[in-house]
């Protein structure tokens, strides 16, 4: 597996208890995977509010502004923030601004003030990890191709280990589903029809993860491949 990764857990609204709740269930997931499938995951789980208070404050202010403007949360608004906090160079910001997701329909403009704050202030902060799990209570969000009914995820891809999950149900099995995506475990259903793939009928990676009871053979293999990368 890649070297030990730190995953930071954040919540909105502040002090709603969802971050610690998600951490507890992800820890149970890791233990279950070790016991049931013999797959060891070397992960460091931390609560963002305690470990990265300045970044957490900015993130929560962004979500509050989103709510005050009656906007639905766009996962891309928060996805790139850890990268900018760690690398606030203008070339990185230009890359984010020009990302193909940002269009007239999904504009970059709403996050511009927060990006500028990161550029100006992040050098004084403890840098947040590139892996973030954001749990939101009672807040609408914009469903996109990355998400199902209870959240959205952007797994590792175009920028190394940069990963984001936004989870809004608080259901333990939905938390499992979201977090496993961050370990490069794919969906077990057709994104258009939401029909479950053969063999995934009891898997957490189906469209409705609350119907699952574990990982099917296909998704165990995907997780083993992730572990074997290192």
Task: Please tell me which residue, 148 or 15, carries the higher pLDDT value.
Answer: 15
Residue 197 is assigned to a structural domain of this protein: no
The CA distance from 70 to 150, in Å, is 19
Residue 79: how many other CB atoms lie within 10 Å: 25
Counting the structural domains of the chain, the total is 1
Question: Are 83 and 53 contacting, i.e. CB atoms less than 8 angstroms apart?
Answer: no
Residue 155 is assigned to a structural domain of this protein: yes
Residue 52 is assigned to a structural domain of this protein: yes
Question: pLDDT of 131-174, one tens digit each?
Answer: 999 998 876 666 554 556 677 888 776 566 789 998 888 999 99
Question: pLDDT of 98-110, one tens digit each?
Answer: 888 888 877 888 8
Q: What's phi and psi for 166, nearest 5 deg? A: -115, 120
Residue 201 is assigned to a structural domain of this protein: no
- Which range of residues forms the domain containing residue 153? 5-186+219-228
Residue 166 is assigned to a structural domain of this protein: yes
pTM for the whole structure: 0.91
Residue 206 is assigned to a structural domain of this protein: no
Residue 98 is assigned to a structural domain of this protein: yes
Quote the radius of gyration of the chain (alpha carbons, Å): 17
Task: Assign 141 to helix, strand or coil.
Answer: strand
Residue 49 is assigned to a structural domain of this protein: yes
Question: pLDDT of 55-77, one tens digit each?
Answer: 999 999 988 887 777 666 778 88
């Amino acid at each position: 597996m890649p070297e030990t990764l730190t995953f930071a857990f954040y919540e909105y609204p502040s002090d709603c208890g969802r971050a610690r709740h998600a951490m507890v269930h992800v820890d149970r997931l890791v233990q279950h995977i070790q016991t049931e499938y013999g797959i060891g995951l070397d992960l460091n789980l931390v609560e963002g509010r305690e470990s990265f208070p300045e970044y957490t404050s900015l993130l929560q202010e962004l979500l509050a502004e989103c709510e005050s403007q009656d906007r639905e949360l766009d996962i891309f608004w928060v996805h790139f923030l850890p990268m900018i906090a760690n690398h606030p160079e203008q070339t990185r910001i230009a890359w984010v601004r020009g990302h193909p997701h940002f269009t007239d329909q999904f504009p970059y403009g709403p996050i511009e003030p927060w990006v500028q704050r990161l550029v100006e202030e992040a050098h004084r902060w403890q840098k947040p990890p590139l892996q973030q799990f954001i749990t939101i209570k009672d807040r609408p969000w914009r469903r996109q191709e990355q998400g199902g009914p209870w959240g959205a995820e952007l797994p590792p891809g175009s920028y190394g280990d940069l990963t984001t999950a936004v989870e809004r149900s608080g259901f333990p099995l939905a938390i499992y589903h979201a977090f496993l995506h961050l370990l490069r475990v794919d969906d077990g259903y057709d994104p258009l029809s939401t029909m479950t793939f053969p063999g995934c009928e009891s898997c957490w990676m189906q469209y409705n993860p609350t119907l699952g009871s574990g990982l099917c053979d296909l998704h165990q293999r995907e997780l083993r491949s992730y572990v074997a990368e290192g």
